[in-house]
Structure 1
């Protein structure tokens, strides 16, 4: 059996593979700290998923253009599509793990957006969601 442990926000915080003789999911849940819950999940569920309305949903991120002019004016728009359990999301500098900004999620579209500009050439790595999670929610922008 494969199961995810989720926290009170619905975030998958741990994925477990149980083999051999295992306890029922109800017994596993009885031993978890308050605010955590074990839920059976498929092979495709990873730590970038949230549990909402009976299903696991990932955060996905996209950028409207991968290259911008390093003039401080040209921008790239990063859009995060998030599960409906989130009301805000943090954008992180992916190389350092430091937060850049936290923005509200539009409750109608379940999206959050960030505009990025640069004044010097280089590569910009931005991740959406917790910095300790896997790096699937990352975009790369090249400033020229």
Structure 2
């Protein structure tokens, strides 16, 4: 008999380990293709941060790669919010099919609510920071190119 999947644990796994796909592996097992694809944008974004440290902020690849990390973290935070706000009946129907629709693993408690609030805070902050970084670099690049043309 498969074990019931806990909604609170899945919420926190999506928040803390989401960019690595840990929540997908918890809910769907190690054979989940999407779980294995989650680390790709995370690794590319971390490579973008490494490029900034090596080549400076004027590196064009870095301002293209860093938002991938931000989007990966923000998507994981959004997943945590969706998991945490799902009703117990829908949660148990999706992930605890062997049990009843009232199984306690799908219930919401204070740890779930705190996880949703933390996901909202982290996800919006990271998404806005990564977008601001990219747009700032993009517009600075456009100004540099305009100055080159005008001279």
Q: Do Structure 1 and Structure 2 share a fold, with TM-score over 0.5?
A: no
Higher helix share: 2
TM-score range, shorter chain: under 0.3
TM-score (norm 2): 0.18
Q: Which has the larger radius of gyration?
A: 2
Higher strand share: 1
Higher relative contact order structure (alpha carbons within 8 Å, sequence separation ≥ 6):
2
TM-score (norm 1): 0.19
